[in-house]
Structure 1
Amino acid sequence: MSAVTSHSPQAVLIGPPGSGKSTVGPLLADRLGCGFADADTDVEAAEGRAISDIFTEHGEPYFREVEERIIAEGLERHDGVFSLGGGAVLSAATRRRLAGHTVVFLTVGLTVGMRRTGLSTARPLLAGVNPRATFKALLDERMPLYREVATIEVDTDERTPDEVVDEILVARKTQEGQR
């Protein structure tokens, strides 16, 4: 019987849509010399369809169940940089699972977040009559949850992805020195 090897990500990225998780994640992984995984991509692979289709066909509660399971598996399997979807922190179970991990909260303001996300149909929660109001409500609801689990917080507004990665690396080194 073979032993099951458990891994732990070097960093878990969280933040709202448009904060740069999908851009910063691969850059950070490259700088750390490790792999990159995206929970949204893992969900789509597991379900065999786009997240927007999952929302349309089964609704948000079903998507959140799948997302929670994929993240639990990913936190055990991935040993590089693991990026979570913007709403992953809505799950109390996911927030509990993030304890003990290096969790990097990429922040983005309303104006910059709207500019970066636009009216993307790939983001089902931002579709609708007033995307700006929806995005603001999303930020208001999730901000305390992001901060609850974050061990590092980096503002991404008006910064290049490389500048964000530099700050993450400095913060990680500082954290490691404090342990």
Structure 2
Amino acid sequence: MTAPEGAAALVVLVGPPASGKTTVGTALAAELGTSFRDTDHDVEAEAGTSVADLFVTEGEAHFRALEERAVARALAEHSGVLALGGGAVTSAHTRALLVAHGAAGGTVVWLDVDLASAAKRVGLSRDRPILGVNPRQMLRQMLETRAPLYGEVSTLHLQTGSRPVRDVLADVLAALPAVGSSR
């Protein structure tokens, strides 16, 4: 059942790069009969360029400011499944919005991934500029430094590393309140 327009996001997915936010998010949206939205795509639409190009031409601080606005807008407008960029939780404002969303009964799922699985999934992707020259080292650092931030905002923590998408999806669905009963 689709949540009514104007309602808060049904499920918000957070986690590091390569944790499965897009893959799980699109599958979850299809299962729930709702829409999927990715704040990185919102930023790209607003800026008229890719996230990778924004990092190169405008810098990370500019991207993070656009991302913070995109997350706030999406949390207010979107009633389906919402995926946030891996670094969105580095903003204190975004974390406060996510904590409030969870406190109000919303579901914020931290999709976690181990270093080996993340490195394998990312490879040497040029679409992930934050990973820089040494993707494995940057992933290790991000996993370690951002884990407490993901933990702060999440209402559900799931490992995705070597698990099939269908298993992760089943765990998310099992944790959701009855869709439609209170929305």
**Whole-angstrom CA distance in 2 between matches of 1:156 and 1:6:** 30
1:20 pairs with 2:42: no
| 1:160 paired residue among 144, 148, 164 | 164
Matched residue type, 2:56? T
Instruction: State the match for 1:7 in structure 2.
Output: 7
**Whole-angstrom CA distance in 1 between matches of 2:44 and 2:164:** 28
Matched residue type, 2:135? P
| 1:107 paired residue among 112, 123, 131 | 112
Matched residue type, 1:122? D
Instruction: State the match for 1:83 in structure 2.
Output: 83
1:169 pairs with 2:173: yes
| 1:123 paired residue among 124, 128, 150 | 128
Pairwise CA distance, 1:155: 0.7
Which segment is superposed worse, 92-101 or 50-59?
92-101
Instruction: State the match for 1:144 in structure 2.
Output: 148
TM-score, length-scaled by structure 1: 0.91
**Whole-angstrom CA distance in 2 between matches of 1:159 and 1:115:** 14
**Structure 2: runs of 5 or more not aligned:** 179-183
Pairwise CA distance, 1:142: 0.3
Matched residue type, 1:25? G
Matched residue type, 1:111? A
| Count of residue pairs brought into register by the alignment | 171
Q: Alignment partner of 1:140: what SS?
A: helix
Task: Say what the alpha-carbon RMSD is for the aligned residues.
Answer: 1.6
Which segment is superposed worse, 154-163 or 19-28?
154-163
Q: Runs (4+) of structure 1 moved beyond 4 Å?
A: none
Q: Alignment partner of 2:85: what SS?
A: coil
Q: Deviations over 1:75-121 (max 9, x none)?
A: 01110000000000000000011122310000000000000111101
The answer on whether the counterparts of 1:7 and 1:75 sit within 8 Å (CA) in structure 2 is: no
TM-score, length-scaled by structure 2: 0.90
Pairwise CA distance, 1:7: 2.3
1:134 pairs with 2:138: yes
Q: Alignment partner of 2:9: what SS?
A: coil
The answer on whether the counterparts of 1:103 and 1:149 sit within 8 Å (CA) in structure 2 is: yes
Q: Alignment partner of 2:72: what SS?
A: helix
